[in-house]
Chain A
Amino acid sequence: MRLLGFGILKGMAVTLENFVRSYFDRDRRHHLFTKEYAWEPGAPAEVLPARADTTVTAHSRNFPILLHDGADPMGGIRCVACQICERECPPQCIYIEKDYDEQGKYIKRPAIFDIDLSVCMSCQICVEVCPFDAIVMDSQFELSTANRFGGLLQHRDQLLKSNEYYHRIHPEEARARDDRMAQEKAEKEAKQAAADAAKKKAAEAKAAAEIAAEKSKPEPSAPTAGGAA
């Protein structure tokens, strides 16, 4: 049994540690995030952001984007319009419609994929539930537009970004995701290969058994029994 109010005391210990160590500790976990005088000419190198084209770090997370492999956005789109993210989204900001070809057959990609940025709260749950690694978080926060509502509803083609872009904004995370995907793919292929081999072997064994049976029983009158299926 835990002490009553233990959770509060634990939380207070964490914040007090931050408070005290922010004055003394220089290590990464407790360093001050505010960079002073970064805009002044001749600012020391450690106050400048890591990349020249952005002011945010690789740890920043903002609204979700869709990923595609290769150069053609719709050719390499990872999303298969399974609608898991649409169902899991707490504020329900995602709207998806499946795509069908002329025969009315479901082709695995979204015809419509909209995210309402005025509703999205950047919780990242869509990223966590996606089984296809198709949706990840962006770090773009400068989203001001000249009109009032236009920029709020992001459509599929605006959301589609290349895997290279993802590697640029969140290098470590993208690498880890690629590695995991490659590993999963290899495992799947190995499994498939093993299954194929087993099937082939079984077929061969069956054929051999049939040949053997035919050899041992020259009379063709007795049909082969089903075995212990």
Chain B
Amino acid sequence: MRTAVRILQRVLGAVPLLLALVIATFVFVRMIPGDPVDILLGQGGNVSAAEVAALRQSLGLDEPIQVQLARFLRGLLEGDLGHSFWQRQPVARLLVTTLPATVELALAALFFALAIGIPVGILSAVRPGSLLDRLAMATSFLGISMPAFWAGLMLMFLFAVKLRWLPSVGRLDPALDLRPVTGFLVLDSLLTGNWPALRSALSHLVLPGLTLGLELMAIVARVMRSSMLEALQQDYIRFARAKGVSGWSAVLRHALPNALVPTVTVVGLQMGVLLGGNMVVETVFAWPGLGRLVVGAIFARDYAVVQGAVLLYAATFVLANLLVDILYAYLNPKLSL
């Protein structure tokens, strides 16, 4: 009960921050030179001044900025994020239909980061200084130092263009029929028992997932290694080992749970990497998610979409931090929220 109240307090406490963010975005995006009406009409055609004025009015751009802001905030209270003038539909709907692609990609990246990062970290910690350890740690530096846009291009070049093992762009082989249920293609194909679609969706996730997960993977491996090393130094592990608990059992059963705590924290704090990185990765892999949406919207001066997307980014960020705290408290009961 007390925990629930605390969580609620945290969520409510984030509201002013989110509001400030969205207002800042509202102002920033209008400071970028360029006229949405020009973009909508494109560079071409014969358009009368009257039509230009009518379009400007229909986009609500004929009013002073404070009036626009007031209208936007009023809409926000009613849950209305405005209209995308380029995609010509409500922003809220656009975000809802875009989010599953982004979340699916982030989960894939998280999966790769953990599935590779954690075992590598453990193995390095168990044999510190070994060839494997040194190789793994050197490689992890590479993971941190590689720009995602380049890593993605190179992976695409190698595995999609040259070797043709994996698809290069998109989420699903378009020849396949997949009835949309949740928008998460992997889930949808499981729910409808569509195995070819599942195969295709998974194979499309590999390259962008790896690219996006690369940096986190390196971080997880390093944190896992150091916290595991620390855990293995603890008295109770030495004690357990002395009592004859076999090496791996001691590592996995006793040291691992303790070593996981810092990893969870770091993963949570690095959710921003997954979110911030997705703009680049989604652009490279033509992944129809939030990142590509927002980059496109900035270039198209699609004000409402940028505002909505920033709000969503920030809310996710706040939520991820909260989740980390909850998980942290759960893993480490001595701490309160």
A and B from one complex: no
